[in-house]
Amino acid sequence: MLQKEFPLLRSYKFPTYNIKYSKSGKNLKFKLLLSIPSVISAVKKEHKLVAQLINKENIAGIISDNRFGVYSSKIPSVYITHQLNVLSGKTTGITSKTHQKIIKNFNECWVPDFKDEPSFSGNLGHLETHDFNLKYIGVLSRFKYEKREILNNLLVLLSGPEPQRTLLEEKLLIELKNYKGKVLFVRGVLDNSSNLRVSNNFKIVNYLLSKNLEKAINQSEIVIARSGYSTIMDLAICGKKAFFIPTPGQFEQEYLAKKLNDKLIAPSIKQHEFTFEKLKEIDNYQGFIKNVSNIDLDLFKLFEGK
């Protein structure tokens, strides 16, 4: 997707962490445990590749978006994450401490959230104590709010790993088949085949690049989506009303969805429990209040050198 967004920029492919996901959310933790060896191998490979790229491209600084091995002791390295605590059920203490140890390899850790309320990450992005350089940079989104005519009553944004993306797509297509309003259904797959219009009021597209997605969000009344953190920030920027369906077995998404539900910002429900009738609950929620992504440029002084 980044290559489609920035076709003129050079890009390099890092090794995949090769994390496997299951149809049953109950088996996700077991699948993740089995993925540990491949993750460790990928981290070692990407760290070696970073060293090569620093010399090849004369790189002066690194910003790593949750890539464990993308850092260097030779140049300033920043790690971006909202998960200082990594929820994993009974093993949360272990996964959180392991992640915090990884963060210490970087010069700074930037958390895309506010230090105080209104906080979107909650316990995920806040620690009582820490021993690394931590900075809160506010809401981070590629989008901005624009006042536009509402063209879609419902915008469906699918994303995330298979097979859960497909399972949710199939369920929503069944549940929304009798919906009378206008729907834009974004499948979230990088497929260049023709988009499919089901009816005059129901349009399906495989994906949207940033500018078109920003436009679609601003032109939509309600958004159905996974409760991934990036999606939450995008919808917060645009001040949308949303309905969240967390990916089964992903503790982070389940936590974020519950947090927003408890604050009466957006309703949420387990994937297998969703029905068209549940959408009516959104009337009881206030939706997101428009936010502004305002990054302090002084953050980048880290890369200016001495």
Q: Does residue 108 carry a pLDDT above 60?
A: yes
Kindly state the greatest CA–CA separation across the chain.
63
Average pLDDT over residues 43-55: 97
User: Which contiguous run of DSSP H or E holds residue 160?
Assistant: none
Helix ranges (DSSP H) in 221-293: 229-238, 251-262
In a domain, residue 289? The reply is no
* Token pair in block for residue 62: 């690194």
In a domain, residue 16? The reply is yes
Cβ atoms of 252 and 226 closer than 8 Å: no
Instruction: Please check whether residues 73 and 177 belong to one and the same domain.
Output: no
Burial class (CB in 10 A: 0-12, 13-18, 19+), 215: middle
In a domain, residue 41? The reply is yes
In a domain, residue 242? The reply is yes
Q: Which of 23, 55, 7 is nearest to 167 (CA)?
A: 23
The total number of structural domains that make up the chain: 2
- Using DSSP's 3-state secondary structure scheme, residue 136 falls into strand
Cβ atoms of 99 and 86 closer than 8 Å: yes
Helix and strand numbers (H, E) in the chain are 7, 10
Least confident piece of the model among 202-211, 257-266, 297-306: 297-306
Instruction: Please check whether residues 158 and 269 belong to one and the same domain.
Output: yes
Instruction: Please check whether residues 76 and 182 belong to one and the same domain.
Output: no
Phi, psi of 122 (to 5 degrees): 60, -135
* Token pair in block for residue 220: 């939509």
- Residue 242: domain span: 152-284
In a domain, residue 146? The reply is no
In a domain, residue 145? The reply is no
Give tens-digit pLDDT for 162-214. 999 999 999 999 999 889 999 999 999 987 766 666 677 999 999 999 999 99
In a domain, residue 299? The reply is yes
Instruction: Please check whether residues 14 and 132 belong to one and the same domain.
Output: yes
> Bridge partners of 157?
186, 225
* Token pair in block for residue 174: 């069944």
Give tens-digit pLDDT for 118-153. 899 999 999 999 999 999 999 999 999 999 999 999
- Residue spans of beta strands (DSSP E) within 166-297: 183-186, 196-199, 202-205, 220-225, 241-244
> What whole-number distance in Å separates Cα of residue 268 and Cα of residue 270?
7
Cβ atoms of 207 and 216 closer than 8 Å: no
Note the pTM of the prediction, 2 decimals. 0.91
> What whole-number distance in Å separates Cα of residue 202 and Cα of residue 176?
9
Cβ atoms of 137 and 296 closer than 8 Å: yes
Instruction: Please check whether residues 112 and 162 belong to one and the same domain.
Output: no
Instruction: Please check whether residues 7 and 56 belong to one and the same domain.
Output: yes
Could you tell me what percent of the chain has a pLDDT over 70? 93
Mean per-residue pLDDT of the chain: 92
Cβ atoms of 85 and 63 closer than 8 Å: no
* Token pair in block for residue 206: 């495989």
In a domain, residue 28? The reply is yes
User: Which contiguous run of DSSP H or E holds residue 5?
Assistant: helix 2-5
> Hey, what's the torsion of the CAs at 143, 149, 150, 151, to 10 degrees?
-100
Q: What is the DSSP letter of 137?
A: -
Give tens-digit pLDDT for 267-294. 999 999 999 999 999 999 999 999 888 8
Here the CATH number for the domain that contains residue 262 is 3.40.50.2000
Q: Strand 183-186 relative to strand 152-157: parallel, antiparallel, unpaired?
A: parallel
Instruction: Please check whether residues 111 and 205 belong to one and the same domain.
Output: no
> What whole-number distance in Å separates Cα of residue 277 and Cα of residue 4?
37
Instruction: Please check whether residues 91 and 216 belong to one and the same domain.
Output: no
Cβ atoms of 159 and 227 closer than 8 Å: no
Instruction: Please check whether residues 12 and 111 belong to one and the same domain.
Output: yes
Instruction: Please check whether residues 109 and 158 belong to one and the same domain.
Output: no
> What whole-number distance in Å separates Cα of residue 271 and Cα of residue 171?
8
Instruction: Please check whether residues 190 and 269 belong to one and the same domain.
Output: yes
Instruction: Please check whether residues 22 and 123 belong to one and the same domain.
Output: yes
Task: Name the strands in the sheet holding 108-111, side by side, starting at the edge strand that comes first in the sequence.
Answer: 62-65, 77-80, 108-111, 134-136
